[in-house]
Amino acid sequence: VTGLLFILAKITIEQITRFEVPPLEPNINQAIVLRLARYLRVLRKLKSMGFIKVFSNNLGDATGVTPAVVRKDLSAVSIQGHKRGGYQIDATLHTLERVLGKDERQEVVIVGCGKIGRALMSHPEFQREGIQIVAGFDINPNVQSPDAPIPILPMSALATFVHSRHIDVVVLTVPDNAATEVFDQVVAAGIPGVLNFTSIELKFPPTAKCRSGCVIHHVNIGLEIENLFYLVRTHRSASGEPTPAAVPSER
């Protein structure tokens, strides 16, 4: 019986598993892009404070990386400083915005308008970053409201909406038990970018439709909290803090 179970397990897992799409990269990888986005925010603040130029070690201090990394990152997107004068904030800022695509519209759609989904829809911070939530989608008729400023539409309207509005990025905030099903609908609609708030490990299938250009990011809050507990606990026991038991040396 055990043998059978274990053969079944193998087959099932192999069938379920989907290929991972390799994110082809020039010489700018995701880690760099994330840092660039953080430099951009610091630069905006500095500009609003009236500063003109900035040194790599300033940006490093503000973002928690070494000056050498800042210089290397900026160099990777062809941003040049002046040998003793640092980087011009204004020019750097513009180049970063262009590289990161902040000059284009960033319209996203929320799929799954439960509590978290609706909370994100009214999240004011996005506007400041140029991200615009243009619609929500849900199967539940009770939350649908086609005439609201940000309309909440039925799931059936997803495909036509994202085509007509050229939506590229979707935020997936459905319950875990609906994750795979709804994700398949999102994939079928041709969406190449998904921010996954469920704790299901979704993956883009290796179909022709999104052969290499599809990306999914995961925001797994439960996993993050778990990890925090683990780290706090281990740090604590490493420094030998909470357990009052003394070292039994003498005796």
Judged by CB under 8 A, the chain residues 207 through 226 that form the site for its own copies are 208-215, 217, 219, 221-226
In angstroms, what is the minimal distance from the CB of 184 to its own copies?
Answer: 16
Cβ 245 to its own copies, closest distance in Å?
A: 4
Is residue 181 close enough to count as binding its own copies by CB under 8 A?
no
Among 8, 45, 85, 236, binds DNA (CB under 7 A): 85
By CB under 7 A, tell whether 193 contacts DNA: no
Task: Give the Cα separation of 78 and 31 in Å (integer).
Answer: 17
Least distance (Å) between residue 152 CB and its own copies: 15
Question: Looking at residue 104, what DSSP letter applies?
Answer: S
Which is it for strands 152-154 and 131-138: parallel, antiparallel or unpaired?
Answer: parallel
Among its own copies, DNA, none, what binds residue 239 when CB lies within 5 to 8 Å by partner kind? its own copies
Cα–Cα distance between 177 and 160 in angstroms, integer?
A: 25
Q: How many CA atoms lie within 13 A of 183 on its CB side?
A: 26
* Interaction residues for DNA, span 153-172 (CB under 7 A): none
How many Å is the Cα radius of gyration of the chain? 24
58 binds its own copies (CB under 8 A): yes
Neighbours of 192 (CB within 10 A): 17
**Total residues binding its own copies (CB under 8 A):** 107
Least distance from DNA to the Cβ atom of residue 251, Å: 35
Task: Out of 68, 91, 148, 228, point to the residue binding its own copies (CB under 8 A).
Answer: 228
* Token pair in block for residue 134: 């243009």
Structure tokens at 167: 């939506």
Q: Which stretch binds its own copies (CB under 8 A): 21-29, 70-78, 140-148, 151-159?
A: 21-29
Residues present in the chain in total? 251
Nearest to 165 by CA among 156, 157, 177: 157
The reply on whether position 50 binds its own copies by CB under 8 A is yes
125 binds, options its own copies, DNA, none, Cβ within 5 to 8 A by partner type: its own copies
Residue 249, token pair as written in the block: 């040396």
Report the C-alpha gap between 17 and 32 in whole angstroms: 29
- Taking the CB of residue 172, how many other CB atoms lie within 10 A of it? 25
The CB density around residue 140, as the number of other CB atoms within 10 Å, is 12
3-state secondary structure at position 90? helix
When asked if residue 188 is in the footprint of DNA (CB under 7 A), the reply is no
Task: Pick between residue 40 and residue 153 the one whose CB is nearest to its own copies.
Answer: 40
Q: Give the residue with the Cβ less far from its own copies, 153 or 167.
A: 167
Could you say which residues in the range 36-75 bind DNA, by CB under 7 A?
Answer: 55-57, 65-69, 71-72, 74-75
Strand partners, 133: 108
Judged by CB under 8 A, the residue of 18, 91, 140, 148 near its own copies is 18
Token digits of residue 65 = 């990386």
Site string for its own copies, 112-151 (x = CB under 8 A): --xxx-xxx-xxxxx--x-x--------------------
